[in-house]
Structure 1
């Protein structure tokens, strides 16, 4: 906990952030061990969060997981974004023209946080959801968001190294830094089966006042990927980037890096 943080408030947020990454719930003991906080201190906080609907109790006795109020709170954030509908309109146009899934995401510490998604009309497409998180180094979106990061910044962001998400994930920090350097020169980031088998992705960073605040991507199953399609997607992303960056300049979306 940071010295300037209020202890009880920080513990509430630590609990919610911990359970955000767990789909099957955690017991009181597991939460206590993960946060290094006594069970006696955690129990009244968990009870209050349970009563208010931010947590729910697993029927199998496993413990606690996020409740409906946590979802409602996150959904309210998305609805309050000033340029919400305008950005989705731009994304929909990309999907209409290339027929593939389009994502809008931000960097939250070392992870990509997916905020918007327009699905491909095809039955076979990338499986993803709004609110999903992925290690930034293994995704096209993440590499776009990390474009301005130097090798030293990457080492600080990932002190334990780059763990493979698939057999194709880049796990060498220097190789990743070189990829980001190339992305900065070309304006595009890409990955092929680094985070999902049989999925490739092309992405662009979105800037506000020169600073990367978000990223936009198109994800394509590898069997539909061709050189022609990739060029089409790059052109569509570049056009969408210009439109969305114009929206960002005149709206406050409440993005983490604005």
Structure 2
């Protein structure tokens, strides 16, 4: 039986009892006359007090149980809220992890090409709004296919990881974006950098790979080296495109490889070579 139904039944019984007692008292008064009026009144008051006490007890008993039940419900609700919050935090962490995995190269831990192209577009538009420059450094591991042929694919993967880690450790700025752009290519996006500044960063990267001193028997130098191409632009709306600076960095890289590898070439060198 529900709590409301229980209270209604008890109130009905109490009211019925009060009516019966009152009728009995009035009947006794009628029989006894005025001499028994005082006594009857006292009996009526005592009986009313007793009934009130009994009724109050009957009412408070289920209310006490209700209070206990409400406390239990509040405790359960608090636990459910905590579990919901924990689940929400876990879900958000999973979503961040999935988003990061979707934009990260699993082998090197660098950004993947998709993230690089997205970052290039964002920084290009920002540079166009603020009249700032940006630079792209394109890096290729020299004779990487020959390295894989000589030492095996697993050794080649290890070289990629070491090269990526070395580039990451060359004091690049937090806003710079490092990405594995191709099988053996790594791209570096430098927001706010002009050609001169990018050239300094590129030479620091080249030396960091040289200092790794990884043996490469198929290389003329006897060690793993890199070739680097650099392009820079101060973009103008409706004039320049992100693909242009990326293409120019790849062309400068091709010039570096054609120049004997283990060197750096820029778009200025491209202009000189075409003159």
Normalised by the size of structure 1, how large is the TM-score?
0.24
Rg larger in 1 or in 2? 2
More helix by share: 2
More strand by share: 1
Normalised by the size of structure 2, how large is the TM-score?
0.23
